[in-house]
Amino acid sequence: MACTQFLSRIQRPRLAYHQTPGRSPGVVFLPGFMSNMNGKKALGLEELCQFLGQAYVRFDYTGCGESEGSVSECLLGDWKNDVLCVLDKLTAGPQILIGSSMGGWLMVLAALARPERVTGLVGSAAAPDHFLTAFKNLPAETKQEVEKTGIFKLPSIYSDTGFYPVKYDFIKEAEKHCVLNHPIPVDCPVQLIHGMEDEAVPWQTSLQLAQQLASKDVDVILRKTGDHRLSDQTDLELLKATVQVLIGKVAGKV
């Protein structure tokens, strides 16, 4: 495996990344919350892009994985800016963004900010607005406790404690980036894969996202036995096949 590289930024922590040179359109993988660039999906897509000869970038958000910074000090807007920085500094030409969970939210924000660069989206259990939705579904007394303590214990079976601590400041800032409460002016092809046994983000979220997108070229693929991670072998093969089809579609328009 190639050595990790670091993207230096003025007055910002360095971002860790791996880059595979190749042809256009390029592919960029966006990890989920508390995840990193070394997961099965990120590495599987790297293998696919190497086989196809496509340019590919996987990276860690600020405070995550091998990147510098503190995750407890980050806001969603910081991670959005990380994605835009990677697009601006490490890629050229049209790009297909693959977003896992929270990365599926960030890919939409990036497509809105860089419509001339983002020419395709693939969501794997995409989780737009998820932190806000989870918070708003809490009982009133629990919300008051979160506001008082400043910490929201986001339930997760993937945490040793059964939850991830999320600062209330993170929740409040994330309100600026909600996308499901209005039409989304993104016109590129979009593929959304979601497991119907997702214990973290309901599969209906992908349907709602599909409805709000302006693009007419949107498909939702539901995996009847798929969980949130969608990382078993059959799920990975579906993801790679979906990405490969989208690469062909976008390449035909370049």
Residues with a catalytic annotation lie at: 101, 198, 228
For residue 155, is the peptide bond before it cis, meaning its omega torsion is within 30 degrees of 0?
Answer: no
CA–CA separation, 206 vs 77, rounded Å? 22
54 by DSSP, 3-state: which? strand
Per-residue b/e over 76-94, b at no fewer than 16 CB within 10 Å? bebbbbbbbbbbeebbeeb
CB 173 within 8 A of CB 234: no
DSSP secondary structure letter of residue 37? T
* Alpha carbons 68 and 3: distance in angstroms, whole number: 16
Give the separation between CA 87 and CA 66, rounded to whole angstroms: 19
Nearest to 129 by CA among 27, 212, 228: 212
Torsion of CA 64, 90, 38, 110, to 10 degrees: 70
